[in-house]
Chains A and B, each alone.
Chain A
Amino acid sequence: MAHNVSRRKFLAIGGGLSAAFLAACASSTTPAASTSTSTAAAGTAKRGGTLRVGSIGSTADILDTTFSSTDIDQQRNQNVYDSLKYISADLPYQTEYALAESIELNAAATMATVRLRPGVEFHNGKSLTADDLIFTMRRILNANKPGKAASSFAAVDPGNLKKLDALTVRFNLKSPDSLFAQRWGSASTNIVPTDFNPAKPVGTGPFKVQSFTPGSRSVMVRNPNYWMSGEPYLDEIDIIDFSDNTSRVAALLSGQVDAIDGVDPSDLKQIPSGGFVTQVTKSGFYQPITMRVDMAPFNDVRVRQAFRLMVDRPQMIAQAYSGYGQVANDMPFPADPAYPDLSQRVQDIPQAKSLLKAAGHEGLAVTFTTTPENGGLVATAQVFAQQAAAAGVKVTVSNLTPTSYDAGFKNWPFTNGYWAANTLGLGYPGRFLKSGGLNDSHWNDPAGAALYADLLKTTDPAKQNTYATQLFQRFYDQGPDIIHSFKNNIDVYSSKFHGFQPFNSTGWALGSWRYRNVWTG
């Protein structure tokens, strides 16, 4: 049973560090231009048809985009609404303008001016205006019921949003945030109208909601007034909920759905070679082994380094991920332009043993807490336990139900989880600032936090890179995670459909669920 309420969702906010200069100077690529290249590559896009997608979902599904968190919610809401920007599919990680025509920051990164695209209509016929942006921002930052992107916009003062004209809003920031423009793009940053009614949700997106039953299915139909000319191509998308992977694969094989996302490698054997496309997305999506640094034995950096040296990374990928992964080097965020090329850490049992001895932890015994989620967590733990035995470390794997696991989140001394690909700038605060809501390792690095604050203060991409490079070095030398590999995402879809572009930037599934690009025929 897959309780696939993504943990990756939490870091899913925003765009890319590399787009810093794109944001500063307000133009370059238009989304229409970039999408037409991607679809042209697969043939000539045709109008019409219905796409049926089978995804892991539950009765917790929602269409209120501000609160969307799970993969299936993001999938639906990315097709009903738009954000100020879109995240690009390719590397390096960057964002393109969507509902915003421009986002300008002052040099001190304390004031942002957003100009909206004119002539955009919501599904109910209302025109998009500055009021909608202000309404959305205040909705996200509502203290009583904060949206999923609230922490991402921590620098924004909801009381200090100024409407300059019908399409322009000035954001006065409480503290500098040079990444403000890249924080738009995920479903939780989508724009809703001032008369938004969650029971009858409308957005500006390529598809309109026709019917929706949480945990069961949603039907969305083509928005004929979509602001991006020519798109979408499909007449209808049906997103069908499954709670079980086996059933989902069977439904694909018997022709009840056309595409499934986030497929387990072990299910690929069942997919016949003809009639289906298996799409592998390589990204910085990672399942780190996380050590709690505020308590023994992992408060000793020698122990952390020893544990990193115990892993045979290629073997880990082969055994835990059936080969669908890339070797990593104990640093997250490979899509970041500042990601450094440091010497690859490999298994070194004698060195690991001597580090443990120096730390006074010979013959260490630890409990590895894990849970059967996200495909590969339990397998990773088991492979690690085997590999650690070679260094004389006894690892006991404790496999909890997802509910029990989640209930103890941030308490487990030695555990693994799963996190989104991201850029360092966007991903750092959640897991690596002391105050971060997702800081499961209890990482507390004042020097690193100071570097991060400096990064937010400068709009100069070169300086941002310098700070980011130093932060990466800190992860490599003393970080709390064993990042043995980056896990690939696998989607399978009927070869009758085209236009699913692998999202190597985010690692999200099925062309990041951007169905306005998909066509059939």
Chain B
Amino acid sequence: MLKAILLRRLVGGIFILWLVSVLVFAAIHLLPGNAATILVGRSDTTPQEVASLTRQLGLDQPLIAQYGRWIKGLVTGNWGTSLVSSLQVSYIVRTRLENSGALTLISMLMLSPLAVIIGTVSAIRRNRAVDHVTSLVTLCLSAVPAFAIGVMVIYLFATNVVHWLPAASILNPDEPVWSQLNLVIAPAITVALAMIPYPIRMVRATMIEVLESDYVMLARLKGVPERRVIFRHALRNGLGPIIQSLALTLLFLSGGIIVVETVFSYPGVGYALVQGVSQRDIPVVQTIVVLLATFCVVINLAADLAVAFATPRLRTALR
């Protein structure tokens, strides 16, 4: 049964990706202005120049043909050449993905344990001072947009109060991101702060529910030590929803990094997307949007699988 569900999800995911590709393609071609004109720059542009570039880019072909060519390239790994920099899209995207991957990973490494700990503590100390403070802080954080948190982090840790962190994440393109992690910390803190309210609340809610359940009460009546009740009985059973909330956070994060990367000039996919849109770099924008959509679909599938393995009922159904 579970296999059927997963298969259905997979087919659904592919359908969504196709839909995204059509939407992106349509949206970008509906924008005003001919990409060729914009690329040449409008100074002293001769009509011949625009015409020759239009041909070169295949912009004179029917839209369906352009779409078909793009999809074929996308599937076969030939993502084309950036219109703006004449670099291979795959090259641009590969380095950018690596950078964004590092940022995502480090943010999640900061965020996940913190969210579980804070959420659990809030649940245990429900309606006490700790819980009130936590809900106030998470409320504030979720009300402030990510870029404002970024500016605050820069103000506090980089430019005005203390000078512990670099203010702009100007990675050296000649070295891998893993050797420049000091430039990743500030945006990672920002992403973590911006994304943490939701998982904290989910963990808290889940834990409250679990802690009030019959089996927890039974365990307590049995005289099982409270620590063991929380770790053995409550947390384990709450793991399913917690994983799902973290997966959902990861999805939000793939959108949130666009803003944070821009604030810190962090050379990730989000920043590349923003630059690509402003420059009408069609191949780069199309590829990144489809990759982000693929990421979302894959994370959803992975979360479903993870929940299945963390939940005995579903795990046995999978066998």
Q: Which residues of A are in contact with B by a Cβ distance under 8 Å?
A: 1, 3, 5, 9-10, 54, 58-61, 69, 143-146, 148, 150-151, 211, 213-217, 240-244, 246-248, 250-251, 253-257, 270, 402-404, 406-410, 430, 437-438
Contact = CB atoms under 8 A, between A and B. Distances in A.
A256 B172 CA distance: 12
Q: Is the interface of B mostly helix, strand, loop or mixed?
A: loop
Contact of A215 (B38, B159, B275): B275
Given A250-B158, A251-B168, A254-B168, A407 B38 contact: yes
B275 A59 contact: yes
A3 B44 CA distance: 20
Contacts, number: 144
A240 B170 contact: yes
Interface of B: 31-34, 37-38, 41-46, 48-49, 52, 82, 84-85, 87, 92, 151, 154, 158-160, 163, 165-168, 170-174, 262-265, 267, 271-272, 274-275, 278-281, 284
A255 B163 contact: yes
Contacts of A251: 166-168, 170, 265
A403 B31 contact: yes
Contact of B168 (A151, A256, A270): A256
Given A3-B278, A409-B42, A437-B44, A250 B85 contact: no
10 contacts: A3-B278, A10-B43, A59-B84, A59-B275, A61-B85, A145-B49, A246-B263, A247-B167, A253-B159, A256-B167
Contacts of A243: 262, 265, 271, 274-275, 278
A451 B280 CA distance: 41
A9 B43 contact: yes
Given A247-B264, A403-B280, A437-B44, A214 B158 contact: no
Most chain A beta carbons < 10 A, residue from B43, B52, B92, B173? B43
Most chain B beta carbons < 10 A, residue from A143, A217, A254, A437? A254
Nearest to A210: B174
Given A5-B41, A243-B265, A430-B44, 19 more contacts: A59-B272, A60-B85, A60-B279, A143-B48, A148-B43, A214-B85, A217-B170, A243-B275, A247-B168, A250-B168, A251-B170, A253-B160, A254-B163, A403-B31, A403-B33, A403-B38, A404-B33, A409-B42, A437-B42
A406 B39 CA distance: 11
Given A59-B279, A437-B44, A407 B173 contact: no
A430 B33 CA distance: 22
A150 B159 contact: no
A437 B43 contact: yes
Given A242-B265, A244-B265, A404-B32, A213 B42 contact: no
B262 A256 contact: no
A58 B170 contact: no
Contact of B262 (A1, A213, A430): A1
Contacts of A213: 173-174
A54 B87 CA distance: 23
